[in-house]
Amino acid sequence: MAHEGAILQTIGNTPLVELKNLDTGCCRLFAKLENQNPTGSIKDRIGLSMIEAAEREGRIQPGGTLIEATAGNTGLGLALVASQKGYKLILVIPDKMAQEKVLHLRALGADCRITRSDVGKGHPDYYQDVAERLSRENPGSFYVNQFANPANPLAHEASTGPEIWAQMQQMLDAVVVGVGSGGTLTGLSRYFARVAPHVEMLLADPGGSVLADIVNTGRIQKEAGSWLIEGIGEDFVPPNCRLDGVKQAFEIDDRESFEAARLLLRREGILGGSSTGTLLAAALRYCRAQTAPKRVVTLVCDSGNKYLSKMYNDSWLFEQGLLDRPQAGSVVDLIV
Ligand code: PMP
């Protein structure tokens, strides 16, 4: 590799726009367009921060191998940075993830190993356990481990948080996020606890994940289920996930998430991914429940391009039992 490409300098500093065509009650709702990062997601930030931290700490050698467990987006961020910096990358990916992500990863040169989505932590086929095992079998490799790597929340504390605060002109009441690794939540919680402790952190959690119950009741009420939303929701609390600062959690099912994402495209022209729908649905519920005006920020975590054949496809929604009439527009028509 002759030069590290300038593309890495385009990570972060994403735009923030107000969502003016949605019913937000007496509140104003803004969305940070993380889909505009170079591989199309918020995870480019941590792809860069985790690799650069490992370089600084001498944990990877030139041309060395990185290993990670990922829903796809962290893999894309890592694959971009690894390809620019000349590292090899092995990724372990659960089989429910959109095919477009896997094709993009393979095109970037990543070695993708697909494993089961229907097993939990402790099972030998669980994606994080497979990645950990591979890193033991490859001496000298670096297990990135976004779930516990401190450079993950640090990226959001050092960049995403200050960007939001400046873009909102220091007038902000609440931030709505989801949790995959917990990096976004923990980094933003730490930043706002320091500069603006009045800012409420709110969690948008897919139905079936255990996190919303922990926030709202202090304990896990039921066993983890499954959900179609990609990138957020957990069956355990990752070490990088700090839930204690979260004021309230909203449990959003697949149908409500997909409807919200499609509404965002129709009304605002923003093509977000499935987790964006979950976050937007939670943000809308929060905004509509307020009796005093608030300024609220949420994230467009990734681009909807990779879900065009899934949640933006009426036939797919119909097959999943999430659409009554397989006709263009019918989902949106249901909630207008
Ligand atoms: N949305 C999407 C689409 C993601 O891929 C992820 C990360 N898996 C998140 C949200 C959640 O981010 P975090 O890992 O910082 O909790």
pLDDT in tens, 51-75: 999 999 999 999 999 999 986 899 9
pLDDT in tens, 71-107: 689 999 999 999 999 999 999 999 987 788 899 999 9
pLDDT at position 219 over 90: no
pLDDT in tens, 164-214: 999 999 999 999 999 999 999 999 999 999 999 999 999 999 999 999 999
Best residue among 49, 73, 144 to mutate for probing ligand 1, ranked by most atoms within 8 Å of CB: 73
Q: Does residue 37's CB lie within 6 angstroms of at least one atom of ligand 1?
A: no
User: Which residue's CA is the closest to the ligand 1 atom numbered 2?
Assistant: 231
What pLDDT is attached to residue 71? 66
The chain-wide mean pLDDT, for the chain, equals: 93
What pLDDT is attached to residue 99? 85
Best residue among 176, 301, 303 to mutate for probing ligand 1, ranked by most atoms within 8 Å of CB: 301
Q: Which of 264, 247, 147 is nearest to 204 (CA)?
A: 247
Locate the ligand 1 atom nearest the alpha carbon of residue 276 and give its number.
1
Helical pair 274-289 and 254-268, crossing angle rounded to 10 deg? 90
| % of the chain with per-residue pLDDT over 70 | 96
142-143 vs 65-69, strand pairing mode: parallel
| CA 134 distance to own-chain centroid | 24
Task: Give the ipTM of the model, two decimals please.
Answer: 0.96
What pLDDT is attached to residue 2? 57
What pLDDT is attached to residue 327? 58
What pLDDT is attached to residue 333? 47
What pLDDT is attached to residue 105? 94
Q: Does residue 202's CB lie within 6 angstroms of at least one atom of ligand 1?
A: no
**CA atoms of 275 and 269, how far apart (whole Å):** 17
**CA atoms of 105 and 80, how far apart (whole Å):** 9
What pLDDT is attached to residue 324? 80
Exposure on the CB side of residue 24, measured as CA atoms within 13 A: 21
Q: Does residue 275's CB lie within 6 angstroms of at least one atom of ligand 1?
A: yes
User: What's the mean pLDDT in 102-127?
Assistant: 93
Catalytic residues: 43
Between these two residues, 329 and 98, which has the higher pLDDT value? Answer: 98
Give me the torsion for CA of 114, 118, 123, 124, rounded to 10°. -20
SS (H, E, C) 324-335: CCCCCCHHHHHH
pLDDT in tens, 261-318: 999 999 999 999 999 999 999 999 999 999 999 999 999 999 999 899 999 999 999 9
What pLDDT is attached to residue 334? 45
SS3 172: coil
Best residue among 184, 234, 298, 303 to mutate for probing ligand 1, ranked by most atoms within 8 Å of CB: 184
- CA–centroid distance, residue 137 to ligand 1 (Å): 27
Token couple for 84: 């620019």
Locate the ligand 1 atom nearest the alpha carbon of residue 241 and give its number.
16
